[in-house]
């Protein structure tokens, strides 16, 4: 049985010690499926759900059993790793920086100033994910949560034309939703889950940008903790989606270009370390010499901190000018 099937069949109340009231409490806190419970530590679960630690431990273990997250033999492990697809960015420099491309079962974040290329990469990935595997795609569709109204069908046309793809088809394979506020943005992740459950072969989810609404809505200093917590929950929901359905998540995060306007390290994304913690791959984009873009890998668990150069052309992302 695949992860998907288990998720459809079992729910929180199937776990020992978790009744409807406790389940509702957990759902309210953003822990709404078995995977979320399976990866928790029992002490946290005990606090959040207001149950004893012994009960929490039993529930976590049961969730792990149901999802078969206990030890698995190495062939199973290999199979999961082999399922990971690396989607090409169109620039082999950038692919190399990312260890091959934007990975499924993980989250890739680009942060940087306005105009640094974050949304351009989003457009390119939405096109490239549709390519066959041997061309660096996943033969699949994408879902795009647009928070700032920066999705451009014309840009998709330029990129799909350059790859010799049928523009109408390419556009049909991108589900776009404009998120009107942060609550709506969070809700849209659930809608993507519904699309997948209805059989849509989605292998890429884009959130451009992840932070804008949260930043606009939670402005006071006293609201910072609340803002972080909500972003954190949203990110965890996205990561769970990536793991349950072998999907690549690409998120963008805008930071100010003028270091004098920022407190502290200008290369730190707003969203702070919580966002850094959740991301599998985190890149910092900036403008370089002669219209180039510089991407720097930061905070990756398995890749070195390094930099590369790429260009944004009419045909899309490229190594050359």
Of 118, 141, 213, 234, the one binding ligand ADP (CB under 6 A) is 118
Nearer to ligand ADP, 117 or 278 (CB): 117
- The site partner of 312 among Mg ion, ligand ADP, none (C-beta below 5 to 8 Å per kind) is ligand ADP
Which of 3/148 has CB closer to Mg ion?
A: 148
Piece of 10-18, 107-115, 126-134, 160-168 that binds ligand ADP (CB under 6 A): 107-115
Contact assessment for residue 70 and residue 76, using Cβ atoms and an 8 Å cutoff: no
Give the strands of the sheet with 202-208, arranged side by side. 174-178, 141-146, 202-208, 248-254, 106-112, 281-287, 292-298, 307-313, 316-318
Site for ligand ADP in 145-164 (CB under 6 A): 158
Which region, left, alpha or beta, applies to residue 203 given φ > 0 means left and ψ of -120 to 50 means alpha? Answer: alpha
Task: Please say whether the beta carbons of 271 and 231 come within 8 A.
Answer: yes
Asked if residue 119 binds Mg ion (CB under 5 A), the reply is: yes
- Burial of residue 173 (CB within 10 Å: 0-12, 13-18, 19+) is buried
CB 208 within 8 A of CB 252: yes
Smallest separation (angstroms) from ligand ADP to the CB of 291: 7
Residue among 92, 150, 267, 292 that touches Mg ion (CB under 5 A): 150
CA angle 93-280-44, nearest 5°? Answer: 175
Say which entry of ligand ADP, Mg ion, none residue 22 contacts (CB below 5 to 8 A, set by partner kind).
none
Q: Is 120 in the site for ligand ADP (CB under 6 A)?
A: yes
Q: Which is nearer to ligand ADP, 63 or 275 (CB)?
A: 275
Pick the closer one to Mg ion by CB: 105 or 118: 118
């Amino acid at each position: 049985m695949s992860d998907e099937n288990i998720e459809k069949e079992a729910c929180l109340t199937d776990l020992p010690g978790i009744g409807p009231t406790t389940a509702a409490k957990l759902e309210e806190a953003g822990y709404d499926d078995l995977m979320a419970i399976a990866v928790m530590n029992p002490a946290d679960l005990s606090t959040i759900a207001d149950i004893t630690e012994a009960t929490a431990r039993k529930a976590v273990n049961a969730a792990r059993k149901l999802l078969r997250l206990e030890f698995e033999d190495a062939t199973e492990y290999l199979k999961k790793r082999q399922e990971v697809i690396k989607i090409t960015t169109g620039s082999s420099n950038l692919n190399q920086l990312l260890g091959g491309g934007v990975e499924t079962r993980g989250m890739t974040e680009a942060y940087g100033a306005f105009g640094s290329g974050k949304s351009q990469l989003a457009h390119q990935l939405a096109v490239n994910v549709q390519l066959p595997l041997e061309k660096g795609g996943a033969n699949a569709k994408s879902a795009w949560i647009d928070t700032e109204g920066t999705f451009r069908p014309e840009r998709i046309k330029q990129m799909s034309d350059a790859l010799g793809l049928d523009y109408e088809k390419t556009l049909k394979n991108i589900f776009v939703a404009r998120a009107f506020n942060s609550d709506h943005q969070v809700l849209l992740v659930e809608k993507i889950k519904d699309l997948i459950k209805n059989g849509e072969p989605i292998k890429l989810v884009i959130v451009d940008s992840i932070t804008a609404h949260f930043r606009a809505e939670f402005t006071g200093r006293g609201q910072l903790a609340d803002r972080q917590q909500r972003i954190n929950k949203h990110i965890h929901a996205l990561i769970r989606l990536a793991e349950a359905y072998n999907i690549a998540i690409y998120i963008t995060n805008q930071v100010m270009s003028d270091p004098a306007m920022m407190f502290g390290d200008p290369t730190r994304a707003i969203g702070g370390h919580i966002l850094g913690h959740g991301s599998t791959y985190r890149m910092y984009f900036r403008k370089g010499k002669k219209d180039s873009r510089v991407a720097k890998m930061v905070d990756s668990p398995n890749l070195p901190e390094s930099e590369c150069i790429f260009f944004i052309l009419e045909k899309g992302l490229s190594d050359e000018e």
